[in-house]
Chain A
Amino acid sequence: MANDPIKQFEIHSIVPIEIAGIDFSFTNSSLFMLATTGAVSAFLVLSTSGRGLVPNRWQSAAEMSYEFVAGMLRDAAGTQGMKFFPLVFSLFMFVLFANLFGMFPYFFTVTSHIIVTFALAMLVIGTVVLYGFMKHGLGFLKLFVPEGVPVVLLPLVCAIEVISFLSRPISLSVRLFANMLAGHITLKVFAGFIVSLSGFGLIGIGGSILPLIMTVAITALEFLVSFLQAYVFAVLTCMYLNDALHPSH
């Protein structure tokens, strides 16, 4: 069923691998993960190989992405946050390239699977929790106790803070996953309309111009969303890392 908008998210094994009874097959998803890795690495390493004092276009683009993320992290978490720069930059570039790869027809969108985005979100939250307790010890728990709150309200506020902290990995992962998934489904559905409408003869062909316009518009929107979601993911990572650096707010 070529018109099934879900088919594009199916994972199928390319090289079956099984270790200790668990399926670690090299799939289309794995392929595009590695393609993303390759593209990110090639972009950042090859473009800067000239180390030009005056950058060429590619080097300029690499420098811009570097400074973009560096500025984001410095604004959110201060100069102390710069020790997490490789993590944030990796996350941003990986998510961005994975999202953009998904924009090619017939390409698989790595970030349209909840397990991938959830793993990345858990990496962020894990880093925050680990670093927070390592740096501040139990002082990290001050994160859940806002200052200047009346003692009566404290249990309630604490509970809210804990819940909001626990929901962070979920919101972080679901936001990216749902955006990519919904965008691609919408795109596929509208593209499917063109085909089905064209089957109804001349009027149908005339009418199919509308979904065609929509498809083009949504494609543009999806490019924006691809970038925006990578940006949002990185910004939220920066803000969560800021909590680990300065838990008392």
Chain B
Amino acid sequence: MATTEDAVNAAAGGGAFPPFDTSTYASQLFWLVIAFGLVYYVISKIAGPRISGILEDRHDRIASDIAEAERLKRETDEAMETYEKALSDARSRAQTLATETRDKLTAETTAKRQASEAELNEKLAEAETRIASIKSEALEQVDSIATDAVSAIMGKLAPKTPTAAAVKKAVTAVAKS
């Protein structure tokens, strides 16, 4: 190996191979303790806690950001749901309203029709009553005309004029038969 070879060469050249020169060990150890002690102090007291703090902060921040994003997403979903519910509610209400309106209008129309039909029926009945009364009146007049006529005919034909009541009785009897 080059190391041993060079060491031998160096030894042959006079001076000891520097890494094996024990006279420098005390000084090297002394300054190594100081130098490495300082590094250890800086890392354990300043740099280490600081870096771990930074990493922790970042970790926490990312975690909280993700949580926040999830919360927002949940909120959005909820809002979406509410919106859809409202929409379907409105739709069903509109349907109900339409049905109701239609039913109401139908009912109204029916009622009107029925009312006008009743009115017409009433008028018809009235007219029929009047016709009946006029008819009976006319018939009554026919009776009296017949009675008069019978009285007059009898007056001409018979010497004795029958009484009005007897004529009437006879006429009625004839009319009834």
Contacts and interface: CB of A to CB of B under 8 A. Distances in A.
| A, B co-complexed | yes
Interface stretch (A45-53, A164-172, A200-208): A45-53
A185 B3 contact: yes
A113 B40 CA distance: 21
Of B9, B21, B24, most buried by chain A (CB within 10 Å of CB) is B24
B47 A27 contact: no
A219 interface: no
| Chain A residues touching B, majority SS | helix
B163 interface: no
A129 interface: no
B18 A33 contact: no
Contacts, number: 152
A89 B30 CA distance: 21
A212 interface: no
Interface stretch (A73-81, A115-123, A143-151, A227-235): A115-123
A63 B53 CA distance: 11
A178 interface: yes
B52 A24 contact: no
Contacts of A120: 32, 36
B41 to A, nearest CB: 9
Interface string B52-73: 1111011001000000000000
A11 interface: yes
Contacts of B1: 182
Given A23-B27, A33-B35, A41-B38, 6 more contacts: A6-B6, A26-B31, A44-B42, A45-B42, A113-B19, A115-B19
Interface of A: 4-6, 9-11, 13, 17, 22-27, 29-30, 33-34, 36-37, 40-41, 44-45, 48, 51-53, 55, 59, 62-63, 66-67, 85-87, 89-90, 93-94, 110, 112-116, 119-120, 123, 177-178, 181-182, 185-186, 189
Interface of B: 1-3, 6, 9-10, 13, 15, 17-21, 23-32, 34-36, 38-40, 42-44, 46-48, 50-55, 57-58, 61
